[in-house]
C-alpha cells in the first residue's frame, strides 16, 4: 500500500518542483535580453542623469540581487539555497519589501476566489451532470448541456471582460474593480462582509460559469457508466423512487472519481483565477502579477512563478493523498 | 477522408456549423490580404467615425478602419494558432507514440516528466518569458513559445490511445500473421490516431488563441501586429467601454467567441465520431 500508493506520488511531486523551478531559473538566462540591462535602461530612460561609475556599481548590486554572479552552476546552487530559506528576494518597485511578503498579503484573496468558485462550480456541475444522466431526454437537461458545452471553451479573459461590461458598466449592479470599497473599515461585521461579497460576486461568477462545463462533462461521463451497473438496474426494478436512485445510488458513487480528474486541471484553473483577478482588479496574486508586469518588476514575477509552482503541486499532492480517505473502495484495497 | 467529412457534415449539425464558420474565417483571412489600408499603421483614416458604407465598422481612436483591422487580426490569430499547434503537435505525437509503444521504465519516466508539464501553471511562466521578450514577440516567435509549452496534455491523450490499440484483438492478429511493426502502426493504428490528433489539435488552437488574447491584454506581445488580443488591448487603452464605442471593443470579442465556439464544435464532433457507437447513431438513426 505504502510503496504502491505513496512513493510514486512523492516522486511525481518532487519532479514537478524540480522541473518547474529549474525552468524559472533557466528561462531568463536562455533568453537574449538581460534583466539587469533592462532595469538599468529603465532607470536611465526616465530622464535621470547617472554617472557611469554609479551605473557600474548599480549593475554589480543588481547582479548580486538577482543572483547572477558567478558561473551558471554556482548561480543555480545559490538559487536553490535561497529558495529553501524562503527568500525570493526583494521587490524592485516596492524596494525593500521582500517578494514573499507581497505574495503573503495577496494570497488570501486568490485562495478565497479559488475555493469559492471551485466549490460552487463543482456542486452545480455535478448536480446538473447527474440530472442529465438520469433524465437524458428532458428539455431541461438538453438545455443545460448545450449551455455548459457552449460556454466551456471561452477564454477566462473574454468571459470576465464580457461580464464586466454587462454587469458593471451597462447595468451597474456590481462594482467595476477592487476587493472592497475604498475607505470602508476592514472588520468582521455585516456591512463589510456584504461589501466583500458584492465585490467578489462578478469574479466568482465569471469563474463558476466557465468551470461548470468541465464538472458537468466529467460527471456525465462517470455517471453514464454507473447507470448500467447491476445495483442501479436492481434498484430500478425494485421500484425505488427515481430521486433516491439518482441521488444516493448514482451521484453518490460518481462524486469521488470526479475529484481525481480534477487534480491535473488545477494549474489551468489557477491561471484562470489570475486572469480573472486582473480584469476585475481583485486584490489577489493576479493583480499583484499585473502590477509587476506593468512596472517591469522582474523579481516579483519570478517569485510569483515559483510560489505558484510550489502551491499548485502541493495542493495536488494533498488532493491525491486525501483520495483514499474519500473513497472507501480505494482505502481497503 | 472526404467521405467522412461529407458524412459528418450531413449528419452532425455541430460539425456543419463549425465547418461552415471555419471556412468563412479562412475566407476572411484570405480577403484580409487585400486590405486597402496598412493595418499596422495608425492614423490612416479619420478617427472615431461611426459605421458607414465607406467604413463598414467605423474607425477607432487611433485612426484605423475597424473592419480591415479585424480581418487582419482574425488572420493573424488563426496563423498564430496554427503555428503554435503544429509545433506542439510534433512534440506531443513523438512523446505520446514513443512512450506508448516503448512502455516499461521509459514510459514511466517520460510520463512523470510529461505530467509535470501538465501540473506546472503555464500562464505565469509564459508571462515570465513574454515580459523578457516583450516587443520582439512577433507571431512566429510567440507561436514557437506557446507551442513549446502546450503539448503535454495531448501527449498523454495520444499515449493512452496507443496503449488501448496495442491491446486490441486486431493488433495481435496482425502481429501473429507476420505484419511488421511499422506496418501495423502505419496501416492499422494510424487511421485511429488521425481523428484524435485532429480534435486535439483544434482544442489546442482554441487554447492558443485564448492565451494570445490574455498575453496581449497585458501588453506582452508585439502590439503593432493586429491580432484579436491587441485589438482588445488598444480598445481598452483608449477607454472604448467608457466612450461606448461598441463597434471597437465588441468586434474582436465577438470574433473571438464565434471562432472558438466553431472550433470547439468541430472538435467535439470529431471526437464523438471516433466512438463507433455514436458514429452509427449519427449516420443510421436519422
Q: What is the ipTM of this complex?
A: 0.86
CA distance, residue B253 to nearest chain A CA (Å):
7
pLDDT at B187: 83
Contacts of B257 in chain A (CB under 8 A): 154, 158
Contact B112, A13 (CB under 8 A): no
B75-112 exposure pattern, b = at least 16 Cβ within 10 A, e = fewer: bbbbebbebbbebbbebbbebbbbbbbeeeeebeebbb
B100-130, pLDDT tens digit by residue? Answer: 888 889 999 999 999 999 989 999 999 989 8
CA distance, residue A24 to nearest chain B CA (Å):
7
pLDDT over 70 (residue A72): yes
Instruction: Let me know the angle formed at the C-alpha of B195 by B93 and B7, rounded to the nearest 5 degrees.
Output: 165
Question: Quick check: B112 contacting A, CB < 8 Å?
Answer: yes
Contacts of A169 in chain B (CB under 8 A): 241-242
Question: Quick check: B155 contacting A, CB < 8 Å?
Answer: no
CA distance, residue A40 to nearest chain B CA (Å):
14
B235-256, pLDDT tens digit by residue? Answer: 999 988 888 889 899 999 999 9
Mean pLDDT of all residues in B156-170: 88
pLDDT at A226: 81
Cα(B110)–Cα(A214) distance, integer angstroms? 27
pLDDT over 80 (residue A255): no
Which residue of A20, A271, A293 is in closest CB contact with B131?
A293
pLDDT band at A58 (very low <50, low <70, confident <90, very high): confident
Question: Quick check: B101 contacting A, CB < 8 Å?
Answer: no
Question: Quick check: B220 contacting A, CB < 8 Å?
Answer: yes
pLDDT band at B95 (very low <50, low <70, confident <90, very high): very high
Contact B51, B58 (CB under 8 A): yes
CA distance, residue B55 to nearest chain A CA (Å):
25
Long-range contacts, stretch A57-65, CB < 8 angstroms, 24+ apart: A62/A36, A63/A36, A65/A89, A65/A90, A65/A299
* Pairwise CB contact (< 8 Å): B116 & A169: no
pLDDT band at A103 (very low <50, low <70, confident <90, very high): very high
pTM of the model: 0.88
pLDDT band at B286 (very low <50, low <70, confident <90, very high): very low
Q: Minimal Cα distance from B253: which residue of A?
A: A158
Domain segments of chain A as ranges:
2-84, 105-326
Whole-number percent of chain B with pLDDT over 70: 95
Q: What is the CATH number of domain A105-326?
A: 1.10.3720.10
pLDDT at A332: 52
A188-230, pLDDT tens digit by residue? Answer: 777 788 888 888 999 999 999 999 988 888 888 888 878 888 8
Q: Minimal Cα distance from B135: which residue of A?
A: A33
B8-37, pLDDT tens digit by residue? Answer: 787 788 889 999 999 999 999 999 888 888
Amino acid at each position: 500500500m505504502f510503496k504502491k500508493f505513496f512513493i510514486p506520488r512523492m516522486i511525481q511531486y518532487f519532479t514537478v518542483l524540480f522541473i518547474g523551478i529549474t525552468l524559472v531559473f533557466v528561462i531568463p538566462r536562455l533568453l537574449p535580453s538581460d534583466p539587469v540591462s533592462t532595469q538599468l535602461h529603465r532607470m536611465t530612460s526616465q530622464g535621470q542623469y547617472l554617472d557611469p561609475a554609479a551605473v557600474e556599481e548599480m549593475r554589480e548590486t543588481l547582479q548580486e540581487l538577482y543572483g547572477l554572479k558567478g558561473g551558471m552552476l554556482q548561480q543555480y546552487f545559490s538559487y536553490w539555497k535561497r529558495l529553501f530559506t524562503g527568500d525570493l528576494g526583494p521587490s524592485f518597485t516596492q524596494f525593500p519589501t521582500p517578494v514573499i511578503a507581497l505574495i503573503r498579503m495577496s494570497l488570501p484573496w486568490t485562495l478565497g476566489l479559488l475555493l469559492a468558485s471551485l466549490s460552487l462550480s463543482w456542486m452545480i456541475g455535478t448536480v446538473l451532470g447527474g440530472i442529465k444522466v438520469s433524465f437524458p431526454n428532458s428539455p431541461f437537461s438538453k438545455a443545460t448541456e448545450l449551455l455548459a458545452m457552449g460556454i466551456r471553451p471561452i477564454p477566462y479573459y473574454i468571459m470576465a471582460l464580457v461580464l464586466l461590461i454587462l454587469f458593471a458598466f451597462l447595468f451597474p449592479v456590481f462594482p467595476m474593480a477592487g476587493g472592497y470599497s475604498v475607505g470602508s473599515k476592514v472588520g468582521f461585521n455585516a456591512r463589510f462582509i456584504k461589501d466583500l461579497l458584492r465585490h467578489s460576486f462578478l469574479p466568482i461568477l465569471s469563474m463558476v460559469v466557465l468551470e461548470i462545463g468541465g464538472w458537468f462533462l466529467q460527471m456525465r461521463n462517470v455517471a453514464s457508466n454507473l447507470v448500467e451497473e447491476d445495483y442501479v438496474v436492481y434498484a430500478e426494478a425494485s421500484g425505488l423512487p427515481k430521486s433516491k436512485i439518482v441521488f444516493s445510488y448514482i451521484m453518490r458513487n460518481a462524486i469521488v472519481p470526479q475529484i481525481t480528474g480534477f487534480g491535473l486541471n488545477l494549474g489551468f484553473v489557477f491561471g484562470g483565477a489570475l486572469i480573472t483577478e486582473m480584469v476585475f482588479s481583485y486584490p489577489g496574486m493576479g493583480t499583484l502579477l499585473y502590477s509587476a508586469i506593468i512596472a517591469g518588476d522582474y523579481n516579483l514575477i519570478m517569485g510569483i512563478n515559483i510560489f505558484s509552482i510550489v502551491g499548485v503541486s502541493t495542493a495536488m499532492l494533498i488532493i491525491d493523498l486525501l483520495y483514499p480517505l474519500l473513497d472507501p473502495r480505494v482505502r481497503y484495497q | 477522408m472526404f467521405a467522412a467529412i461529407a458524412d459528418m457534415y450531413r449528419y452532425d449539425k455541430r460539425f456543419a456549423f463549425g465547418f461552415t464558420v471555419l471556412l468563412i474565417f479562412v475566407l476572411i483571412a484570405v480577403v484580409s490580404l487585400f486590405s486597402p489600408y496598412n493595418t499596422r499603421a495608425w492614423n490612416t483614416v479619420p478617427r472615431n467615425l461611426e459605421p458607414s458604407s465607406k467604413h463598414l465598422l467605423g474607425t477607432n481612436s487611433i485612426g484605423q478602419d475597424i473592419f480591415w483591422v479585424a480581418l487582419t487580426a482574425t488572420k493573424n490569430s488563426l496563423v498564430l494558432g496554427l503555428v503554435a499547434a503544429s509545433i506542439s503537435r510534433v512534440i506531443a505525437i513523438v512523446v505520446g507514440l514513443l512512450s506508448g509503444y516503448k512502455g516499461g521504465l521509459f514510459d514511466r519516466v517520460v510520463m512523470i516528466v510529461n505530467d509535470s508539464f501538465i501540473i506546472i501553471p503555464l500562464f505565469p511562466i509564459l508571462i515570465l518569458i513574454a515580459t523578457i521578450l516583450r516587443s520582439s514577440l512577433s507571431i512566429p516567435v510567440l507561436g514557437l513559445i506557446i507551442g513549446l509549452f502546450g503539448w503535454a496534455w495531448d501527449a498523454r491523450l495520444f499515449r493512452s490511445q496507443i496503449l488501448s490499440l496495442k491491446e486490441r484483438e486486431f493488433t495481435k492478429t496482425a502481429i501473429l500473421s507476420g505484419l511488421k511493426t511499422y506496418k501495423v502502426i502505419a496501416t492499422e493504428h494510424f487511421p485511429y490516431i488521425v481523428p484524435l490528433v485532429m480534435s486535439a489539435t483544434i482544442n489546442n488552437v482554441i487554447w492558443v488563441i485564448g492565451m494570445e488574447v490574455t498575453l496581449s491584454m497585458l501588453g506582452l506581445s508585439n502590439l503593432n501586429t493586429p491580432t484579436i488580443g491587441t485589438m482588445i488591448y488598444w480598445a481598452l487603452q483608449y477607454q472604448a467601454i467608457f466612450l461606448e464605442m461598441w463597434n471597437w471593443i465588441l468586434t474582436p470579442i465577438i470574433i473571438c467567441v464565434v471562432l472558438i465556439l466553431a472550433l470547439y464544435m468541430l472538435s467535439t464532433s470529431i471526437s464523438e465520431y471516433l466512438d463507433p457507437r455514436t458514429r452509427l447513431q449519427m449516420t443510421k438513426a436519422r
